[in-house]
Amino acid sequence: MAIFTYSTLTLCGFVTVKRLILRVWNVTDFVEGNFLGLPEDEGEPDVIILPVPYELTSSYGQGSIEGPKATIAASSQVELYDALLPEDLPCGFRIRTAEPWDGEGGTLQEQLAGISEYISRQMSPFPVVLGGEHGMLPAIMKAVGEKVELNQLTIVQIDAHADLREELEGDAFSHACAARRALDLGVGNILQIGIRAFSREEAEFTANDDRVQSWLARDILNPCGGEVAWNNWLDTLSNLSGPIWLTLDMDGLDPSYVPTTGTPVPGGLAFWQVVETIETLAAATNATWVGADVNEIVPDSNNNVTQFTAAMLVTKIVSAHLARRLRDEK
């Protein structure tokens, strides 16, 4: 039986339930400000949640700077049960929520350098970065490059946009150039799914660069043949080897799941397709999952759908990673 208390959150002015969850070993207190409200034990964490409220190059919808805080608040309502795990989260592991990135830096480059430093201090063992706009991806890759050889790394990108432009309105570090800048840093391969809004320049780049493979949303979701493309995607993930990083732009999902992301695009992935992608990625036998970022989370003050969807997907990332840890430890 769960015990419930109530508390008002200032974010969006809504009232949320604070749960005192009956764990396998004890009843533990809800800790406001921690992802899933989980208390934190001493010692090195197994998963660390890194809030990065970065928003400097958004070209359409604003508000992703509030995404990390809103996602953590919404996680208070996410169930701790996952069928992949033998016990409720934290399932005997340590999940820590770090203090947010401080946002300091007078220029775009100074802010990106600050994000890299913030993440590099907390890369072990499995970071999940909460954004924030997708323009932070190159900064994340710089930090990841201190842990693995980037030319061996595969980025799995869930996104409505290819983010492969050379520049957007004169800015080479726009969110629309995030994947291109990651390749410039030496990332070996990018696998993209859900893409449905891209330029001629990006289409030509993808066609002529072997480092990029793209599964377009229209092919995946096509009622005639879509299942073949989808199974090819899952087979590709299952056969990955070496280090992998998941970058999940929330606009990769259909807007019905994320109505207030930075640039919502119709015709996106279903929630369960993203869940299956995460679970397949975690189970890839020859791959090492290094970490993930979930970005372009713009809080929805009317119905909280976007941040709750984000919180559920972050929880799935954590659960799938820990399930893989348990499998490997056997």
Structural domain contains residue 127: yes
| 225 or 56: which leads in pLDDT | 225
pLDDT the model gives residue 254: 96
pLDDT the model gives residue 180: 96
Structural domain contains residue 132: yes
* Domain span including residue 259: 31-329
| 277 or 109: which leads in pLDDT | 277
pLDDT the model gives residue 8: 33
38 pLDDT above the threshold of 90 = yes
Structural domain contains residue 5: no
pLDDT the model gives residue 21: 36
pLDDT the model gives residue 28: 53
Structural domain contains residue 8: no
Which band of pLDDT confidence, cut at 50, 70 and 90, is reported for residue 4? very low
Please give the share of the chain, as a percent, with pLDDT higher than 70.
88
Please give the tally of structural domains in the chain.
1
Please give the share of the chain, as a percent, with pLDDT higher than 90.
75
Tell me the average pLDDT across 125-130: 97
Structural domain contains residue 2: no
Tell me the average pLDDT across 141-157: 97
15 pLDDT above the threshold of 90 = no
What HEC string does the chain produce?
A: CCEEEEEECCHHHCEEEEEECECCCCECCCCCCCHHHCCCCCCCCCEEEEEECCCCCCCCCCCHHHHHHHHHHHHHHCCCCCCCCCCCCCCCCCEEECCCCCCCCCCHHHHHHHHHHHHHCCCCCCEEEEECCHHHHHHHHHHHCCCCCHHHCEEEEECCECCCCCCECCECCCHHHHHHHHHHCCCCEEEEEEECECCHHHHHHHHHCCCEEEEEHHHHCCCCCHHHHHHHHHHHHHCCEEEEEEEEEHHHECCCCCCCCCCCCCCCECHHHHHHHHHHHHHCCEEEEEEEEEECCCCCCCCCHHHHHHHHHHHHHHHHHHHHHHHHHC
Predicted TM-score (pTM) of the model is 0.89
Residue-wise pLDDT tens digits, 248-279: 999 999 999 999 987 889 999 999 999 999 99
Structural domain contains residue 38: yes
Structural domain contains residue 4: no
State the pairing for strand pair 15-20/3-8: antiparallel
CB 161 within 8 A of CB 195: yes
Cα separations (Å) of 272 from 124, 258, 276, 278, 318? 29, 14, 6, 10, 16
70 pLDDT above the threshold of 60 = yes
Q: What value does the mean pLDDT of the chain take?
A: 88
65-79, 88-102, 205-219, 258-272: least confidently modelled range: 258-272
pLDDT the model gives residue 295: 95
In terms of Cβ atoms closer than 10 Å to its own Cβ (0-12, 13-18, 19+), residue 170 is exposed
| 175 or 41: which leads in pLDDT | 41
pLDDT the model gives residue 302: 82
Structural domain contains residue 12: no
301 pLDDT above the threshold of 50 = yes
Q: What is the CATH number of the domain that holds 270?
A: 3.40.800.10
pLDDT the model gives residue 229: 96
288 pLDDT above the threshold of 50 = yes
